[in-house]
């Protein structure tokens, strides 16, 4: 009896369909193997990276391509290849191929978890084709090794891999020379260089860092200014440099435009903005509802709420509430609302919050999602409360990675009160 191969062994695999998470599905002697750095239809030599004998599935990295897919291209970021850092797992795939990959994942999750059959098209963000899908990140997170060299952790590991460049970072970040400098050892570096042209902010271990070391001034800048132009309006924000903000330079404009178009005319409406963050959607919603409408924005992160207070301070009919969405919705006694916008974390909103939304009987729900599985699960919950998916747009706001952003639009079916 031949022993099964273990971690580090090389096996030849015929690669099947894409799966959620940045890998494809193959089989070895009947066992499912999730293979990174491969493409559907390829035959590859793969190194097993997680092949415990009793594991329900194995993991592997394709290290040699025996038969290549037409969508395979030279890697745009070799350091994110096999046994490399995380964050660029699709850098070997053409941009069109990446979008088809993500469309297939979204469609499969909708069908499997929500029983929704839908053709999905993933839209490119403005400027990405010209840049080859690179240079889009306005925020990056790095870690340093024991020698103080900046890099990222190896995939599924805490080991720091020093880098010489980060091709997904914007030009403003690339110009900082982060990989040419020495930093404090074993620490985290956060960099924000907003698309508005505001000066970048570097935080090292949470402290502001200047060109020659720590910036200990009392007025050292810890936030950046962002500017979003959407639907003929300009919105200005101030956001903590290490706070949450969409990292793609075009994402705020793309998403605000999509959400506001999905809502339609909300003048005079009562709107809930859930998981509202620093107010990306709250500010345009505040303008759109007019003086006779109202917006209640709920966010659990106290720092984000502080940013939002600055960003919507001119909107007298916007009410910001700090606390867990589930708890505050349970305490909210305001009754019905006309529309709900929600942008939950990767895990989604969940059954309880979806039920609380449905209790308020909004005519329209606009759901912004960064994880298609969580979105599909929550859409199934909404369907159970009488909501129908009217439209879904998917955006490639994370080129070279498996991540995809979706905006789903749901309406309440009449007779489900």
Active site residue 370: yes
Residue identified by tokens 């998470």 is: 21
Catalytic site residue from 247, 274, 370, 410: 370
Nearest residue to 187 (alpha-carbon basis) of 150, 241, 157, 137? 150
Torsion of CA 101, 102, 103, 105, to 10 degrees: 90
- Report the predicted TM-score, pTM, of the whole model to 2 decimal places: 0.96
Separation between Cα atoms, residue 84 and residue 317, nearest integer Å:
49
Side-chain half-sphere of 237: how many Cα atoms within 13 Å? 30
Domains along the sequence of the chain with CATH: 10-72 (2.40.50.140), 103-127+250-412 (3.40.50.150), 139-226 (no CATH)
Q: For each of the chain's 417 residues, which pLDDT tens digit applies? A: 457 898 999 999 999 999 999 999 999 999 999 999 999 999 999 999 999 999 999 999 999 999 999 999 999 999 999 999 999 999 999 999 999 999 999 999 999 999 999 999 999 999 999 999 999 999 999 999 999 999 999 999 999 999 999 999 999 999 999 999 999 999 999 999 998 788 999 999 999 999 889 999 988 999 999 999 998 899 999 999 999 999 999 999 999 999 999 999 999 999 999 999 999 999 999 999 999 999 999 999 999 999 999 999 888 899 999 999 999 999 877 689 999 999 999 999 999 999 999 999 999 999 999 999 999 999 999 999 999 999 999 999 999 999 999 999 999 997 655
Q: Which residues make Cβ contacts (< 8 Å) with residue 384, sequence separation at least 6?
A: none
Separation between Cα atoms, residue 329 and residue 331, nearest integer Å:
5
């Amino acid at each position: 009896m031949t022993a099964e191969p273990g971690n580090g062994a090389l096996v030849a695999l015929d690669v099947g369909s894409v799966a959620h998470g940045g890998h494809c599905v193959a089989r070895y002697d009947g066992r499912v193997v999730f293979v990174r750095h491969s493409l559907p239809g390829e035959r590859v030599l793969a190194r097993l990276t997680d092949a415990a004998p009793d594991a329900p599935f194995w993991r592997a990295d394709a290290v040699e391509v025996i038969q290549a897919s037409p969508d395979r291209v030279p890697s745009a970021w070799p350091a994110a290849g096999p046994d490399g850092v995380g964050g660029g797992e699709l850098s070997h795939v053409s941009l069109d191929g990446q979008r088809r990959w993500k469309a297939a994942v979204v469609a499969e999750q909708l069908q499997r978890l929500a029983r929704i059959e839908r053709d999905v098209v993933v839209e490119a963000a403005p400027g990405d084709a010209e840049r080859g899908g690179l240079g889009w990140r306005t925020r990056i997170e790095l870690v340093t090794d024991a020698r103080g060299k900046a890099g990222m952790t190896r995939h599924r590991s805490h080991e720091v891999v020093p880098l010489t460049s980060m091709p997904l970072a914007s030009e403003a970040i690339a110009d900082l020379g982060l990989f040419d400098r020495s930093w404090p050892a074993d620490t985290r570096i956060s960099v924000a260089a907003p698309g508005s042209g505001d000066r970048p902010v570097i935080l090292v271990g949470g402290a502001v860092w200047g060109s020659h070391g720590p910036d200990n001034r009392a007025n050292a800048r810890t936030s950046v200014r962002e500017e979003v132009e959407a639907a003929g309006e300009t919105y200005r924000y101030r956001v903590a440099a290490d706070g949450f903000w969409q990292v793609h330079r075009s994402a705020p404009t793309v998403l605000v435009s999509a959400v506001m178009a999905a809502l339609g005319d909300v003048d005079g409406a009562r709107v809930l903005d859930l998981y509202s963050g620093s107010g990306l959607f709250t500010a345009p919603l505040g303008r759109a509802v007019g003086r006779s409408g109202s917006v209640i924005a709920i966010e659990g992160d106290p720092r984000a709420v502080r940013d939002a207070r600055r960003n919507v301070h001119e909107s007298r009919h916007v009410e910001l509430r700090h606390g867990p969405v589930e708890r505050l919705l349970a305490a909210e006694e305001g009754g019905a609302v006309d529309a709900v916008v929600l942008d939950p974390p990767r895990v989604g909103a969940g059954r309880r919050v979806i039920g609380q939304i449905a209790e308020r009987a909004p005519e329209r729900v606009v759901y912004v999602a960064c994880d298609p599985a969580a979105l599909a699960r929550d859409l199934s919950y909404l369907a159970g409360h009488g909501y129908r998916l009217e439209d879904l747009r998917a955006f490639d706001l994370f080129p070279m990675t498996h991540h995809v952003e979706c905006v789903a639009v749901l309406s309440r079916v009449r007779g489900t009160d």
